Amino acid sequence: MKVTQSVSATFKSCYAGWSSFNITDTRGDGIEIDLSDDQYLEMERSIVNKCDAIREERLKKAREANEESISE
């Protein structure tokens, strides 16, 4: 049987070490995740995809706001 534990935290900072990724939350609690090089690369792809989607959505909203201000 696999036991799963979920943890909720509010991100404050992170550090990428040689073999682990460390996250500190706003309360000062830490989370350490052991990662191989390939896992780091997979995490990078996920984060880059998420950041690209955020930027795309913000650009879309900025363009819409700009078009609305021009038409007024």
- Residue 35, C-beta contacts closer than 8 angstroms, at least 6 positions apart: 19, 20, 21, 43
Read off the tokens for 14.
């992170």
5 in any annotated domain:
no
Instruction: Please state the pTM of the whole predicted model.
Output: 0.75
The confidence band for 70, taking pLDDT boundaries of 50, 70 and 90, is: confident
Structural domain boundaries, residue 15: 11-71
Q: Do 23 and 30 meet the contact criterion of CB atoms below 8 Å apart?
A: yes
pLDDT in tens, 1-46: 888 888 899 999 999 999 999 999 999 999 999 999 999 999 999 9
Read off the tokens for 12.
């404050």
pLDDT at 65 over 80: yes
38 in any annotated domain:
yes
| Backbone angles phi and psi of 2, in degrees to 5 | -95, 130
18 in any annotated domain:
yes
The number of domains in the chain is: 1
